[in-house]
Amino acid sequence: MAVKLGTVEFYEAMGAALNDDPVWADKGKNIDFNMAYKYEAPVEGQFYVSFEKGKVVAVRNASQEDLDSADFLISGSSDVWRGCFDGSINPTVAMTRGKLRVRGKMAQMLKNMPAFMYIQETMGKIEFE
What was the pLDDT predicted at 125? 95
Report, as ranges of residue numbers, the positions in the chain whose pLDDT lies below 70: none
What was the pLDDT predicted at 106? 87
- Where in the chain are the domains? 8-124
Query: pTM for the full model?
Result: 0.94
What was the pLDDT predicted at 1? 79
By 3-state DSSP, what share of the chain in percent is helix, strand and coil, each rounded to 5?
45, 25, 30
Among 56, 28, 39, which residue's Cα sits nearest to residue 5?
A: 39
CA distance 36 to 61: 9
Contact criterion met (CB below 8 Å) for 15 and 52: no
pLDDT digits (tens, 9 = 90+) for 48-57: 999 999 999 9
CA distance 2 to 13: 10
8-124: what CATH class? alpha beta
